[in-house]
Amino acid sequence: MNPGQTYLSLEEPSNADHLWRYSPWKKVHPTGNIKEVPENFSQPELSLYMLDGSKAPDSFSILKESIMTKKNSYSDPVSMNFIDAVSSKNKFTLKVNNNTILKQPVILKINLGESNSSMNLTMDIGRHCQFELVTQIVGSAPWFGLIRNGEIGEGSVINDVLVGQMNTGTLMRVDAINIGRDAQVKAGSISSGSERTKADLRYMMNQNGGNLRVLGSILSANEMHIDHHVEIHHEAANTYSRLDWHSACGGNSRTIGTGMLRVADGAIGADAGQLFHNLLLSEKAEADSIPELEVSEHDVVGCGHGTANGPVDEEQLFYLEARGLNPEDAKDALIAAFLNSTLSEMGSELLHQWLANNLQDELKSLTT
């Protein structure tokens, strides 16, 4: 069966599943009719360039076809097959040759325009690469679906940051990434634009020595509903992961973060941990965090999880105001510091500066 037929053969996902509990599929589907697979989704406009605006090297390219790579077998079949079906004409491969080493970040800009859009991106990243990639999503599409599926090669050191800055609408995102042997990966997510975000991010660590940090800086305001589900699967020995997620929630917005760390039998020496922090900026803002662990191997370095919610610290506000900041600027400074604790860990100082500058306007919206 093709992806559309496979999708239509599936049962409606249950709200008992954490993936769909807070964002039912009917509300995420572009028409609300889950028995429909819409056609003629537009192809986004893609631009690939270096941070300074120069052309990306030939070893780093976007191809208009999808090559076969290992698939993450733990991905949700409903979201994966649906986006694959509506992206039948919008398949691309991000191809990075072995031993590609870059001194400045690469920007992949996805411009959606104003109509429903989708994209299936295979990530084929070679061995022993070193680079930083920012995927920036902009535009006014009512609905955008994105799959990023593929593998990060052996020994590569990658900082991979996705910035969601749609003006409105719904972003549905599925990541299914295999982490190669001894690869070191930072996977950053920044959400600051779409009215509704539903993301299902899954990472497979089935090669020895993989090191993964999953970092989130989430900005929600007004009536936004931002829901991220993250799973990290430790299948091989001596693998390391940390999930660190910070959400700042203002207005009538709601953020959800669900994390699942699975350590399989035989994953000797695994070290896994997750922590969710939520900063509530209004009485009507809401944040839910559900960290979970499933550990089947007894010989591990450590496995832990935690979550913390709270408003802006009044003592810290008083401290800043006593040193000359007005109340609004003091609050802005504390919000920026809260989000920066994960933002600054996503990559180099050059990347951090670009991200901070790019998010200035979104930070202001949190306090209005």
| DSSP label of 72 | -
Instruction: Tokens for 261, please give them.
Output: 């760390």
Instruction: Tokens for 124, please give them.
Output: 């084929």
Instruction: Tokens for 245, please give them.
Output: 């997620």
* 42, amino acid identity: S
Q: pLDDT tens, 63-90?
A: 997 665 555 667 899 999 999 999 989 9
Instruction: Tokens for 106, please give them.
Output: 């690469």
Phi–psi pair at 276, nearest 5 degrees? -110, 130
Query: With contact defined as beta carbons under 8 Å apart, do 270 and 297 qualify?
Result: yes
Q: Which position has the token pair 């509300």?
A: 27
pTM above 0.85? yes
Burial of 340 (0-12, 13-18, 19+ CB in 10 A): middle
The alpha carbon of residue 268 and the mean position of all alpha carbons in its chain are separated, in whole angstroms, by 28
pLDDT score for 319: 47
Among 363, 218, 357, CA closest to 279: 218
Which residues of the chain carry a pLDDT beneath 50? 319
DSSP assignments along 135-167, one per residue: EEEEE--SEEEEEEEEEEPTT-EEEEEEEEEES
Helix, strand counts (H, E) of the chain: 8, 18
* Dist. CA 262–CA 243, nearest whole Å: 12
* 152, amino acid identity: I
* Dist. CA 92–CA 120, nearest whole Å: 6
* 14, amino acid identity: S
The alpha carbon of residue 250 and the mean position of all alpha carbons in its chain are separated, in whole angstroms, by 20
Measured from the Cβ of residue 164, the count of other Cβ atoms closer than 10 Å reads 24
pLDDT score for 66: 65
* Dist. CA 106–CA 50, nearest whole Å: 4
pLDDT score for 349: 94
pLDDT score for 282: 86
CA torsion sign for 154, 341, 200, 264 is positive
Instruction: Tokens for 262, please give them.
Output: 């699975």
CA distance readout (Å), 341 to 2, 104, 216, 325: 43, 22, 10, 21
pLDDT score for 356: 87
The H or E element containing residue 111 is strand 106-111
Give strand pairing partners of 112.
none
pLDDT score for 63: 93
Question: Can you give the residue range of the structural domain that contains 340?
Answer: 3-365
Among 113, 156, 112, CA closest to 132: 156
Phi–psi pair at 266, nearest 5 degrees? 105, -10
DSSP helix/strand/coil, 77: helix
Considering its fold, how many domains does the chain have in total? 1
